[in-house]
Amino acid sequence: MTLIIVILLLLGYVLIGTGHLTGVNKSAIAMFIGTVGWVLYICYGTDFVMSQHSLDYIDYLAGADPTSETAKGYIYDNLFLYYVGRAASIVMFLLATMSIIEILNNNGCFDFVTSWIRTRNSKRLLWTITFATFIVSANLDNLTTATMMLVIMHSIVQNRRQRMLIGCAIVIAANCGGCFTVIGDPTGLLLWGDGAVTATNFTSYMALPAIVAWVVPTILINRELPERLDTQWSPMPYRGDDTNLKPWQRVVMLFVGIGGLWFIPTFHNITKLSPFLGALCVLSVLWVVNEVMNRKLMNADQMSQRLTPRALQYGSLQQILFIMGIMLGMGVVTETGVFEDVSAWMNENVHSVWILGIVSGLLSALVDSFTIAISDISLYPVIRGALPGDYIGNFIANGAYWKIIAYTTAVGGCLLSIGSISGVALMKMEHIRVGWYMKNLTLKVLTGWLIGLGVLWLEMYLYN
């Protein structure tokens, strides 16, 4: 049964990586892996429990006779619910940040981006929109940020090739921006929740490599754009029968939304509660502020006329289901004991976290960045009590392994357009083919990825 579960996972990897060819949504594949994997696991529950958790299972029985029903009860209470809770904490955080960005977007809090890029100068437009994407995605969800910026860019730039190049730069900026904070990308959030990294240490090491990985390919993309872009400017988006919030009201909402998220690491350090609780608290406060700011519309029963960005909702829902499915699938494979065997083999034969990181980055481009990242995270537990100088010290809290995996998978997913959900969203929006992306973007991203990895290595060498 272990072999069947592993084959199911590997086939899922293949289908996720070839989703652009088969037309099967990767979220559906992830959910299938997560659900069917646990069904197969519980069918042989007694064997798995006795091999992996025999002592705990005996304590759970408390003298009762072991049966298939007691094994199923143990699995549900002690294993399945643990992985559900672990996945749910990530999903709830993403749900909160996605809701925050939708509230801010619907109230025009990001309209300043459109005002900033009101130019035909390619250099100014490219750097302004990617800089805004980089900053916002570091504090909010990178998929939703990328989709929102792509919608803004799509409505402005008329030439299709120019849109394709700028859209690729936006996706790169979103993925690089998301990977240098613990709240900007699901991988960083997972590492933070597991205690593998702390917020300040993670950002201090990841900021410079992420900036390099964003700046280098953006410079190269800018060289392929003409001096003047083919642009068309339309009025500010209509959001129902409103008169648009005043600038100070938008600033207040932006401060509550993004400023509140900045406080979450402090909230977590003080309370030791899951970060998603802090995100939900920020969402609730922003929700109240939203109703206060728009009370006239609500009293006039006009809020229902607001247009909701359906593209953001649909993409957000897919990401939530994808992450839930992948995390449940990784959980069931972890409980078979396969990852322990794989990590033991790697310790004997590879013995280099940098090689693991580079291979993981390349696999991220072929499969999916989060899928590969959580596979790597599942291979090793967070080691307590080891010395930073030893090889095993790479896996302590704030160890090198966690940062390397977070960086290489997030940026490596940009090597191909299919390597991240943001890239897939761009492919659908601008009808980009993988071959065109490889010809025009892969080498540019690879250059920035390798230089950024060199910067990360230098940081590790100097400060560890």
Residue 299 pLDDT > 60, yes or no?
no
pLDDT of the residue at 236: 55
Structure tokens at 172: 């790169």
Is the pLDDT confidence value at 427 over 80?
yes
Q: Tell whether the model's pLDDT for residue 391 goes beyond 80.
A: no
Q: Are 182 and 191 spatial neighbours (Cβ–Cβ below 8 Å)?
A: yes
Closest CA to 230 of 141, 322, 299, 162: 162
Tens digit of each residue's pLDDT (9 = 90 or more) over 341-360 = 888 888 777 778 999 999 99
**Highest-confidence segment of 64-68, 108-112, 198-202, 214-218:** 214-218
User: Once rounded to an integer, what is the mean pLDDT over residues 317-325?
Assistant: 82
- How far the first Cα of the chain sits from its last, in Å, is 43
Calpha distance 12→6 (Å, rounded): 10
Only one residue has tokens 């802090």, namely: 278
From residue 64, alpha-carbon distances to 50, 54, 61, 75 in Å are 15, 14, 5, 16
**Of the candidate ranges 38-52, 78-92, 95-109, 159-173, the one whose mean pLDDT is the lowest:** 95-109
Of the pLDDT bands very low, low, confident and very high (cuts 50, 70, 90), residue 220 is: very high
**Residue-level pLDDT at 404:** 95
Which pLDDT value is given to residue 191? 92
Helix extents (H) in 107-141:
111-116, 122-139
- pLDDT computed for residue 425 by the predictor: 82
CA torsion angle 84 85 86 87 (round to 10): 50
Relative orientation angle of helices 310-336 and 369-379, to the nearest 10 degrees: 30
pLDDT band at 114 (very low <50, low <70, confident <90, very high): confident
| Residue 412 contacts residue 359 (beta carbons within 8 Å) | no
Tokens matching residue 5: 């579960």
Report residue 175's pLDDT band, with 50, 70 and 90 as the boundaries.
very high
pLDDT at 221: 94
pLDDT surpasses 90 at 49: no
> Stretch 327-351: mean pLDDT, rounded?
84
| Alpha-carbon 281 to chain mean position | 21
* Nearest to 94, CA basis, from 254, 321, 430, 295: 321
Residue type, 237: P
The pLDDT score that the predictor gives to residue 60 is 85
- Per-residue HEC secondary structure of 246-309 comes to CHHHHHHHHHHHHHHHHCHHHHHHHHCCCHHHHHHHHHHHHHHHHHHHCHHHHHCCCHHHCCCC
Is the separation of the CB atoms in 46 and 69 below 8 Å? no
- Residue 396 pairs in a beta bridge with 383
- Residues present in the chain in total: 464
Per-residue pLDDT at 296: 63
pLDDT of residue 464: 65
Q: Which 8-state DSSP code applies to residue 121?
A: B
The pLDDT of 389-411, averaged and rounded, is 88
Distance from the Cα of residue 402 to its chain's centroid: 15
Per-residue confidence (pLDDT) for residue 201, from 0 to 100: 92
Q: What is the pTM of this model?
A: 0.85
Q: How many CB atoms are closer than 10 A to CB 419?
A: 32
Whole-number average pLDDT of the chain:
84
CB neighbourhood size of 24 (10 A): 14
**Is the pLDDT reported for residue 332 higher than 50?**
yes
* 434 vs 446, residue with greater confidence: 446
- Supply the Cα-derived Rg of the chain in whole angstroms: 23
Q: Please answer whether residues 141 and 236 qualify as being in contact, where contact means their C-beta atoms are separated by less than 8 angstroms.
A: no
